[in-house]
Amino acid sequence: MDDKLTLTINGISVRGKKGQTVLEVCRENSIKVPTLCFHPKMPPYGGCRLCIVEIQNMRGLPPSCTTPATDGMNISTHTDRLFKIRRTVLELLLAYGDHNCLMCEKNSECELQNLVYEHGIDTVRYKTNFVPKPLDDSSSMIVRDPNKCVLCGRCVRGCLSVQVNGVIDIAARGSDSFITTFNGGLLNDSNCAFCGECVASCPTGALTQKQSRFKGRPWELKKVQTTCTYCGVGCQLELNVKDNEVVKVTTDPELGGPNQGSLCVKGRFGNDFINHPDRLKVPLVKKNGHLQESTWDEALKIVADKMGSIKKTSGPDSLAFFSSARTTNEENYLVSKFARAVIGTNNVDHCARL
């Protein structure tokens, strides 16, 4: 059975598939429709109303992200009417918040900022009773600024649908709505696992990484794709580097890998050890009760002599080896081979198993 669809979008005949939404067909055919609440990893939401389109013989202006595509549809995505409505929506979002781009960590990466620029908004016509809310700075990893939130719900759906944690939700109604934890308290006092999925999903500066604040603007950072070294899953991530220092870790679903753009708390936030002043750079050997810098030859000789002595006096099973996920598979194999073939013990374990 043929599952192909033929639609007309902005006067051009395009192809789609049954089961796709209008927005998915547009994106598949390189037709840009503005969105804020839509995210390809999450179920459609239809909350921001920016992706509205005109569809011939259909009442109103349906959101393209929740409207199923059907054969023969005639769709317009960029009429004057749609432009004016989207512009009004963006102005209302600006009016019900404090969007100071000069002091925002997401400057130039903010989807709201980009849409405001694209729609030529330089003033906001609406006056509201918006009252600023306090910043949640309790976490050592995530900063929550509710005044920059546009209630797109991406953080909520990322937490619930992608990571299956369900720590946050939308409370209250209408213009009084806000994102909160289920106990209504600080993020640090909640059941948050600090995976950072909400930060990665947020289109504005409402959720940002605390460790990277004021360490580099987005255009100053060089992104280097690599594999997370904390366990053996092989998650793909981007190291954001400035002046040879890792400022933060970001992800992109397009990188592929088993994580599809998601990370755990260690992969996203556990990078401060790289440039930590206490990180060991040379071997230390205890002499006269104090640790002193040594050469690798001296340190390895001491370890080899100690291992040989213990094996001789207490047997090979008196020794055990614990390997690390931060090394390569080949290096871990060598640890296993050394333990079994050289020392003669099966006492081998690995941190990724725990």
Cα–Cα distance, 280 to 34 (Å, whole number): 49
Structure tokens that stand for 295 in this block: 């050469």
Segment 111-142, tens digit of pLDDT:
999 999 999 999 999 988 888 999 999 999 99
As a whole number, mean pLDDT of residues 173-189 equals 89
Structure confidence at residue 250 (pLDDT): 95
Map out the domains of the chain as residue ranges: 4-78, 294-353
Segment 102-111, tens digit of pLDDT:
989 999 999 9
CB-count burial class (<10 Å; 0-12, 13-18, 19+) for 184:
exposed
Report how far apart the first and last C-alpha atoms of the chain are (Å, whole number).
Answer: 49
CATH fold, domain 4-78, is: Ubiquitin-like (UB roll) (3.10.20)
Q: Answer for the pair 155, 202: CB distance below 8 angstroms, yes or no.
A: yes
Q: Answer for the pair 212, 206: CB distance below 8 angstroms, yes or no.
A: no
Q: Answer for the pair 74, 55: CB distance below 8 angstroms, yes or no.
A: yes
Segment 206-229, tens digit of pLDDT:
999 999 999 999 999 999 999 988
Closest CA to 88 of 131, 114, 121: 121
DSSP 120: T
Segment 226-243, tens digit of pLDDT:
998 887 788 999 999 999
Q: Answer for the pair 8, 73: CB distance below 8 angstroms, yes or no.
A: yes
Cα–Cα distance, 186 to 200 (Å, whole number): 19
Tell me the pLDDT of the chain averaged across its residues: 93
For β-strands 54-55 and 74-76, DSSP reports them as: antiparallel
Q: Answer for the pair 217, 106: CB distance below 8 angstroms, yes or no.
A: no
